[in-house]
């Protein structure tokens, strides 16, 4: 609507301008041109038409905005999730299930999802253009957004408020599942998993603690380091099942994992994770452990 009205107004103004130019040319050639009541034209165009158009567009825009931000089905079967913005990643929590994750928001398709937004450090902004408009995530203040995916699918989100050096590398995947698949996803994440049987993986878990990764990362072997006030780093309990690493920055494979652990700053400047240099044997074990976290 805005584009259509803008085109009509622009064409109208351009035609008037051409008409005025044409008249003044004719006059300078000495041809007789009829009189125009310029004052009346200014009053009508400037005093009536312009305010009327602007007012109509404002009313229209408010109505669209109100319908877009209105809860879809607040009384119905609503799923509430919490998304917390960190420099430069997303913490995702499902309070109803006691499940937490990072950088991926899994939702059931066709169901209203209430997203509670917070920020841990600076202002971020939650923006998944295919699902909803953007909304700021503010430290110390919870904002609320409603989304619903009509069909199962994959939707890319992006932090939309400049939040520091790697703001551009702060992406989010929203994955909409059919309801039964979503329940299976939640179930897989809420059941505790068995101790690793593979000796290499066991060794890797020890390296994870020796290298002090657990100070910032929760895993199934180690619950959330500081549940209140968010975690310093993403929950790694199921890191191997994620589509990407470091909030959409790297493909999730062994090579990027190894590069990330050795030098996160080079891959994501300003990132709040220190580099870790490990002997090859320890690194191999650590990678095997991380890859076992599905
Ligand atoms: Cu940002």
Q: Residues 106-160: pLDDT tens digits?
A: 999 999 999 999 999 999 999 999 999 899 999 999 999 999 999 999 999 999 9
Q: Which residues pair with 99 in a beta bridge?
A: 94
Mean pLDDT on 73-88: 89
Encoding tokens for residue 109? 């398709």
Distance CA 215, CA 65 (A): 43
In this structure, of 22-31, 36-45, 108-117, 190-199, the range with the lowest mean pLDDT score is 190-199
pLDDT over 60 (residue 7): yes
105 DSSP 8-state letter = E
For ligand 1, the distance from its centroid to the CA atom of residue 100, given in whole angstroms, is 21
Q: Which residues pair with 175 in a beta bridge?
A: 106, 154
For ligand 1, the distance from its centroid to the CA atom of residue 150, given in whole angstroms, is 27
pLDDT category of residue 222 using cuts at 50, 70 and 90: low
For ligand 1, the distance from its centroid to the CA atom of residue 239, given in whole angstroms, is 22
pTM score of the predicted model: 0.83
For ligand 1, the distance from its centroid to the CA atom of residue 243, given in whole angstroms, is 20
Alpha helices in the chain (DSSP H): 2-28, 38-42, 50-69, 179-190, 199-210, 254-262, 264-267, 280-292
Residue-wise pLDDT tens digits, 175-204: 999 999 999 999 988 876 677 889 999 999
Average pLDDT, the chain: 90
Task: Please tell me the predicted confidence (pLDDT) of residue 35.
Answer: 79
Distance CA 67, CA 128 (A): 17
pLDDT category of residue 219 using cuts at 50, 70 and 90: confident
For ligand 1, the distance from its centroid to the CA atom of residue 142, given in whole angstroms, is 17
pLDDT over 80 (residue 28): yes
For ligand 1, the distance from its centroid to the CA atom of residue 89, given in whole angstroms, is 9
pLDDT over 70 (residue 229): no
Task: Please tell me the predicted confidence (pLDDT) of residue 221.
Answer: 57
For ligand 1, the distance from its centroid to the CA atom of residue 173, given in whole angstroms, is 15
Higher pLDDT residue, 85 or 220? 85
Task: Please tell me the predicted confidence (pLDDT) of residue 234.
Answer: 92
Distance CA 172, CA 292 (A): 23
Encoding tokens for residue 16? 């008037």
Task: Please tell me the predicted confidence (pLDDT) of residue 228.
Answer: 47
pLDDT over 80 (residue 213): yes
CB-count burial class (<10 Å; 0-12, 13-18, 19+) for 54: exposed
For ligand 1, the distance from its centroid to the CA atom of residue 170, given in whole angstroms, is 6
pLDDT over 80 (residue 39): yes
Higher pLDDT residue, 31 or 5? 5
For ligand 1, the distance from its centroid to the CA atom of residue 271, given in whole angstroms, is 12
CB atoms near residue 125 (< 10 Å): 22
For ligand 1, the distance from its centroid to the CA atom of residue 230, given in whole angstroms, is 17
Higher pLDDT residue, 229 or 142? 142
Residue-wise pLDDT tens digits, 232-276: 899 898 899 999 999 999 999 999 999 999 999 999 999 999 999
pLDDT over 70 (residue 172): yes
Task: Please tell me the predicted confidence (pLDDT) of residue 223.
Answer: 55
For ligand 1, the distance from its centroid to the CA atom of residue 216, given in whole angstroms, is 21
Going by C-alpha positions, the residue among 110, 113, 111, 147 that lies closest to residue 130 is: 147
For ligand 1, the distance from its centroid to the CA atom of residue 167, given in whole angstroms, is 4
For ligand 1, the distance from its centroid to the CA atom of residue 125, given in whole angstroms, is 7
User: Radius of gyration of the chain from Cα atoms?
Assistant: 28
For ligand 1, the distance from its centroid to the CA atom of residue 266, given in whole angstroms, is 18
For ligand 1, the distance from its centroid to the CA atom of residue 122, given in whole angstroms, is 9
pLDDT over 60 (residue 61): yes
């Amino acid at each position: 609507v805005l584009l259509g009205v803008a085109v009509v107004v622009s064409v109208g103004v351009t035609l008037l301008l051409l008409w005025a130019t044409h008249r003044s040319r004719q006059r300078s050639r000495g041809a007789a041109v009829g009189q125009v009541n310029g004052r009346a034209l200014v009053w009508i165009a400037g005093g009536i038409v312009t305010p009327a158009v602007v007012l109509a567009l404002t009313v229209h825009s408010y109505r669209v905005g109100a319908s877009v931000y209105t809860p879809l089905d607040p009384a119905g079967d609503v799923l509430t999730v919490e998304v917390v913005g960190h420099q430069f990643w997303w913490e995702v929590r499902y309070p109803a299930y006691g499940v937490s994750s990072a950088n991926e928001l899994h939702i059931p398709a066709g169901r209203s999802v209430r997203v509670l937004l917070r920020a841990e450090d600076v202002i971020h902004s939650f923006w998944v253009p295919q699902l909803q408009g953007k909304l700021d995530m503010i430290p110390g203040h919870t904002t609320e957004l409603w989304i619903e995916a009509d069909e199962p699918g994959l939707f890319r989100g992006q932090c939309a408020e400049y939040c520091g050096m790697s703001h551009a590398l702060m992406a989010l995947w929203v994955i909409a599942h059919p309801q039964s698949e979503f329940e299976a996803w939640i179930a897989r994440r809420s059941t505790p998993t068995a101790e690793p049987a593979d000796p290499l993986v066991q060794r890797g878990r020890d390296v994870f603690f020796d290298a002090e990764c657990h100070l910032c990362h929760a895993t199934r072997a180690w619950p959330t380091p500081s549940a209140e006030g968010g975690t310093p780093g993403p929950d790694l309990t199921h890191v191997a099942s994620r589509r990407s690493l470091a909030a959409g920055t790297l493909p999730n494979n062994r090579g990027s994992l190894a590069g990330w652990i050795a030098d996160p700053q080079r891959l994501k400047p300003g990132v709040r994770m220190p580099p870790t240099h490990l002997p090859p044997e320890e690194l191999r074990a650590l990678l095997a452990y991380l890859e076992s976290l599905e």
